[in-house]
Structures are given as structure tokens and as C-alpha cells.
Chain A
Amino acid sequence: MQNISNTMHKNPKLRLAALLTAPILWLVVAYLGALATLLVTAFFTIDSFTGNVLQIFNLGNFQDMLTDVAYKNVVLRTLGIAISVTIICTILAIPMAFYMAKIAKPRSRKILVALILTPLWASYLVKIYAWRTMLEPGNGVLEWLLGPIGFKSPGFGGPAIVIGLSYLWLPYMILPIYAGLERLPNNLLDASGDLGAHNWHTFRRVVLPLIFPSLVAGSMFTFSLSLGDYITATIIGGKLQMLGNVVYQNFSINLPFAATIATIPVTIMAIYLWMVRRTGALANL
């Protein structure tokens, strides 16, 4: 044992290797490997009679995907849902995080963070089925509760998906913003008020620019998780399909085409990351 640690101490490269071999293997094989397989499969096709995958390179799947209007609609709908979820989460998360980081007392701050985290302990499926019960048209919890004041459930469809996903991913938006606000010195807020700025002005000119990297971090979660989701759409989306549903349906009948569809969210996320990079927010994360 003494010997090993001596050798390690004298040899920094060996130390580094011991530290990083396992994670790098995992990253390359499990993560990049799967992504590469996906990408390659997208260019394969199937024997329409047997349903077997034919490993012949062709662009047929991409052609089908890009020319069929139905897929274009699914892409736009999925994008719309992901953007709506991100916006709703941002609007809800900023005041909550602000209260937690700047107004609440240190002790209740800890409790609030724990409360934000608790929904993450529950199963995803349980939470979505709970929303199904809530939104059920006619005898759902929401209508039972708010019906007397004229509330009508939006039923199962786009709005239900947006509500469900916003609920699911909200903690992923609150936590980075909370962390960002905690790092923001209080005296910057004092200074802004001292120089004559009202609260809204302080928020727009001081708080928002300084927590922008946190917003970006949060949006990467809410946006990408929404983009790839299909279970929520299945359970509370009614007949509505998202990209994930299309992938799921093709998965067993036409694997190469499923892979082709799956490249869309990957591409959108790549474009999103590239745009974010250009704002410089990643450098301050």
C-alpha cells in the first residue's frame, strides 16, 4: 500500500490516469457510443417485407422526414411546447428563487430548498398520473375545486402537456437561479436603489443581466427535457403527439426512421447551445 502511494506520488500522469480512466470509459462507450450508433442508424433502412434493418447507407429517412408535413407539424408543436414550458418555468422560478435567496431568513431558506427538491423524489409517472386526475374534464380535481368560479379544465392536449411539463421541470429552473441569486451581493441591489432606481429597473438592469447565466443553465434543463419527453404526452396529451412519441412508435417497426427523428432534438439542442455560447453566458456559468 505504501509502495503504491509512493509511486503515485512521484508520477503525476499515473495519478491522473487512475482518477479519470473510469469516467472517460463511461463517457466514450456509454454516452458517445450510443450517440454515434444513433447517428449511424439514422442513415440505414429496413427491408419493407421482413422488417429487418439493412445496413445500407442512404438518405431516404431524412427525405421522408423533411417532406412529410405531418412531421414538420410535430417538430413545430414540440418546439412550441418546449419554449412555452421554459418561459413558464422562468416566470415562476425567478420570484420564487428571489424570495428564497434574498428575502427568506437563512433557516427557512434551507427548508424551502428542501421543499423544492421533494417533488424530485417522487416517481415521474406518479406525478403525471396525478395531473391526469387533476385535469380530468368533468370530474377532475381542478374542476371540482374551481368549477364554482367558472373554471373549465383544458382537457387532455397541448395545454395539459405544457402544465404537466412545467410542473415537472420547475425545480431544475429554480435551483440554478437560486444559486445565481445567492451569489449576487445584496449591496448591488442597495447600490441600484441608492442611485435612484425603482425595483423594476434594478431587476432589469442589475439582477437580470447578472443571473442570465443561471437562466441559461435552467433553460437548458427545461428545454431539452421537454424536447425529448413522450410519457407526459402519452398520459395527458390526448391525441397530441410530440417528437418523442413519434420516435417511440417507430422504434419497434422502423428503427432507422426512429433514429432519424431522434436526430432532430439533438440538432435543436446543438443549435440552442451554439446560440447560448454566442451570448457568452456559458463562460460565466
Chain B
Amino acid sequence: MSAAVVVSIRSLKRSFGDVRAVDGVDLDIREGEFLTLLGPSGSGKTTVLRMIAGFEKPDSGTITLAGKDVSQLPPYERDVNTVFQDYALFPHMNVLANIEYGLRVKGVSKEDRRKQALIALKQIRLEGYENRKPAELSGGQRQRVALARALVNKPSVLLLDEPLGALDLKLREQMQIELKALQREVGITFIFVTHDQEEALTMSDRIAVFNHGKIEQLGTPREIYENPKSEFVSEFVGQTNRIEIDGKKINIRPEYIAVSSSSSTGDRSVKGTLRDEIFVGSATRYLFDTEAGFSMISTQLNKNLKIGDVVTLSWPREKEFLVQ
């Protein structure tokens, strides 16, 4: 965990009109890590990414890239590349010309850039597609071309702006795995923006959770999920039961709540009546009204329960967490 810091952000601020999109962000991004900026839309995560890329200038604060202050530099003078939300492939160029674009701009010789572009094409498993136009590709293929177009320049940091947002679920899950594998392979720092908490938990080394232009919490996926520091984080990342016991507000994730018809199996328990159930495929979410007056959700493998059944809900005390 002592890898060098490649991007360093200090007191970054940016407003659009009256809206403070980014309101004082400090963040150190380590070399080679997969860092996700997670948050709802309008939380400032994309603006931070766009400021790292150079598409937006900060009102105040600094962005240091590999030790050099780049806050005021135009995009073309920064050693970062971006994969855009809707790919932004050049529609009038074929796949090969798109991938070669960055190298061509830098004046790499024709043979060299062709060679590197073909390697990149192989990396994304699109050999034989070099003469296709972007319009002739599927969403997933375009996505991969956008990735190759950025990676072929070997940037010190790759920025990804909700790159999987436009794909259907199946493809998205497949791309999550591919992207993570690719990142390990090339060893480049990835800064990934998403509003999808599951995506963030699956792929990231660390997650920065954004809300109202500020970072609410920074940590590994496990820290974020098991030890959310604020109500917002606990709500945004996963589901949570917020209950009051002995005058203390505590939180407990639904998957830790065991349901039994006889006695309790954990060190906390409460009797509850099944009010509703939501079938989600691999599991079912059961909603109980407890005798203590609050309602609780328990996520379980599909059980044979009927609405109105009275059961005992129990959970281990160490899985509870407090939030501010």
C-alpha cells in the first residue's frame, strides 16, 4: 500500500452558476490502482474527472499529475486519456484510424502506429474489424474500440466516464470482468466514474463516495460496505436496516438477518410478522413488521414463508454499525 501517488487533488472547487458542483475535494490516487468515483448524478464525480482530463478548469485548487501541476493545462498537454460515456468515436474514421489518432497526432511513424494499433486491436479481441466504421459496430464493440483508442497512447492515468452505462446488463457484467483484467494486465491507473454501487464494489481497489460535491468516504469496497461512515454512504452502497434499540440508533445489513420459526440464532433478536416479499431471482427480500414497532428487511435464499407468518429475526451484534 505504499505505491507512489500519481494524481494528487487538493481543495478542488468548481461551480456552474449557483451550483457548487465540486466543493472542496482532496484525493490522492496511487499508481496502478483502480479507483472509483461513486455517487448519484449531480454529486460532482464527473466534474472531478473532467477537471483531471482538462475539459473543465477548476475555480480553485490544484491537480498534480506525476508531480506536475496540470490544473491550468489544456487536455492535449496532459498525460491522461479518457474513455467517454458514449464512446465519442470519430464517425468518419474506421476503427484503425480511430485507434491510431492519438499516435498520429504525436507524429509516430506510419508503420509504428499501425503496429501498435493492431496490437491494441488484438488486446480487445477485435482483429479483422480495422476497416469498420463505428456505426457498423455493436455497443460493446464500440466500447472496446474506445478503450483501445485511449490505451494505445500508454497514458499514466486512464479516465473512464461511466463507460458501461449504455450496455445491457449481461454485457455490462462481462465488460466489468474484462476491464478489471485489462487493468491488471496493462498496470495503468484507472479512475472510473459510476453511479452503480455494485459495479464500484466489484471492480475497484478503492472507492471514493461522492455527495453534494464532496467526498463522503474513501476506502476499499469492503470498508465502504461494512463500515460506512455516514448515513448517506450506508444508504447509497447496499441496503440497510436503520433501527433503534435501547435508545441507540444502529444499522444492520439485510443479509445478516436470519429468519427462523423457532428460537433465535444470533445475539440480538426480535419477533416479526411477514408483511411483504419481493422476489429478486437468486434471493427474496422479506419485509417484516416487528413487535418493537419498526420494520426490517431480511434478504434470504428463497424460503417458504407466507404473508402473516410470525417468525424470529436475529443477527450477530458484531455486524451492526453506527453512523453519524
For the complex formed, measure the closest distance between the CB of A208 and the CB atoms of chain B, giving whole angstroms: 10
Decide: A195 and B88 in contact? CB cutoff 8 A. Answer: no
How many angstroms from the CA of A193 to the CA of B73 in the assembled complex?
A: 11
For the complex formed, measure the closest distance between the CB of A262 and the CB atoms of chain B, giving whole angstroms: 38
Decide: B75 and A190 in contact? CB cutoff 8 A. Answer: yes
Closest B residue by C-beta to A208: B92
Encode A25-41 as 1/0 by CB contact (under 8 A) with B. Answer: 00000000000000000
Segment 73-96 of B: residues with Cβ below 8 Å from A: 74-76, 80-82, 84-86, 88-92
Asked if B55 is at the interface (CB within 8 A of a chain A CB), the reply is yes
Asked if A197 is at the interface (CB within 8 A of a chain B CB), the reply is yes
How many angstroms from the CA of A188 to the CA of B149 in the assembled complex?
A: 13
Encode B138-158 as 1/0 by CB contact (under 8 A) with A. Answer: 000000000001100100000
Asked if B101 is at the interface (CB within 8 A of a chain A CB), the reply is yes
Closest 5 CB pairs of A and B: A195-B102, A193-B75, A191-B88, A187-B88, A196-B105
Segment 38-76 of B: residues with Cβ below 8 Å from A: 53-55, 74-76
Asked if A210 is at the interface (CB within 8 A of a chain B CB), the reply is yes
Decide: B102 and A196 in contact? CB cutoff 8 A. Answer: yes
* Interface residue SS majority, chain B: loop
Asked if B248 is at the interface (CB within 8 A of a chain A CB), the reply is no
Decide: A196 and B84 in contact? CB cutoff 8 A. Answer: no
Decide: B105 and A191 in contact? CB cutoff 8 A. Answer: no
State whether A190 and B102 are in contact (beta carbons under 8 Å apart), knowing that A195-B153, A198-B76, A206-B90 are contacts in the complex.
no
Residues of A near any B CB (own CB < 8 A): 185, 187-188, 190-198, 201, 205-206, 209-210
Count A/B pairs, Cβ under 8 Å: 58
For the complex formed, measure the closest distance between the CB of B53 and the CB atoms of chain A, giving whole angstroms: 6
Chain B CB within 10 Å, residue with most, of A187, A190, A191, A197? A191
Asked if B170 is at the interface (CB within 8 A of a chain A CB), the reply is no
A-B contact pairs, 24 of them (CB 8 A): A185-B86, A187-B84, A187-B88, A188-B88, A190-B55, A190-B75, A190-B88, A191-B82, A191-B84, A191-B88, A193-B55, A193-B74, A194-B54, A194-B55, A194-B75, A195-B81, A195-B150, A195-B153, A196-B102, A196-B153, A197-B101, A198-B76, A210-B91, A210-B92
Asked if B303 is at the interface (CB within 8 A of a chain A CB), the reply is no
Decide: B76 and A193 in contact? CB cutoff 8 A. Answer: yes
* Interface residue SS majority, chain A: helix
Asked if B110 is at the interface (CB within 8 A of a chain A CB), the reply is no
Q: In the complex, what residues of B have CB within 8 A of residue A194's CB?
A: 53-55, 75-76, 80-82, 150
Q: In the complex, what residues of A have CB within 8 A of residue B105's CB?
A: 195-197, 201
Q: In the complex, what residues of A have CB within 8 A of residue B106's CB?
A: 196
Q: In the complex, what residues of B have CB within 8 A of residue A190's CB?
A: 53, 55, 75, 82, 84, 88
Decide: A196 and B91 in contact? CB cutoff 8 A. Answer: no
Decide: B149 and A195 in contact? CB cutoff 8 A. Answer: yes
Given contacts A190-B55, A193-B55, A206-B90, 14 further A-B contacts (CB under 8 A): A185-B88, A188-B88, A191-B84, A191-B89, A191-B90, A193-B74, A194-B54, A195-B76, A195-B102, A195-B153, A196-B105, A196-B153, A197-B76, A201-B105
